[in-house]
């Protein structure tokens, strides 16, 4: 299976791994900013999460309602096994391109 993940898709998937099944739009955005210094708008994060979910690379579920959100629920995302495999392949390809040049 040929999988092409863009750089931002990789960052979102990596953030989801770090957030351990508790990732939602704001936390994904904050994790990427904290780890990379890259500020991103919410629309970009949510669009990417939706695209990754359509591809089967992430799954989502609704969290419990919280008073801080006026009783609304968060949509929580997690990396799927297919997403984990796609990310691993994508990172291997990227690293493979540089391996000989960095040695």
The answer on pLDDT for 1 being more than 90 is: no
Question: Residue 23: pLDDT band by 50, 70, 90 thresholds?
Answer: very high
pTM of the shown model = 0.87
- Which pairs from 82-85 meet CB under 8 Å and 24+ separation? 82/56, 82/57, 83/13, 83/16, 83/52, 83/55, 83/56, 83/57, 83/58, 84/17
CB 12 within 8 A of CB 52: yes
Question: Residue 65: pLDDT band by 50, 70, 90 thresholds?
Answer: confident
**Both tokens of residue 10?**
């990789």
- Which residues lie closer than 8 Å to 89 by C-beta, 6 or more apart? 3
Write out pLDDT tens, residues 29-40: 999 999 999 999
Beta bridge partners of 59: 78
Give me the pLDDT at residue 85, please.
95
Mean pLDDT of the chain: 90
């Amino acid at each position: 299976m040929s999988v092409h993940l863009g750089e931002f898709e990789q960052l979102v998937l990596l953030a989801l791994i770090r957030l351990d099944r508790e990732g939602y739009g704001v936390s994904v955005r904050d994790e990427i900013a904290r780890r990379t210094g890259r500020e991103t708008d919410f629309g970009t994060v949510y669009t990417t999460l939706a695209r990754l979910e359509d591809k089967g690379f992430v799954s989502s579920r609704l969290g419990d309602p919280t008073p801080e959100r006026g009783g609304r629920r968060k949509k929580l995302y997690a990396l799927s096994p297919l997403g984990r495999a796609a990310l691993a392949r994508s990172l291997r390809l990227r690293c493979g391109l540089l391996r000989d040049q960095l040695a």
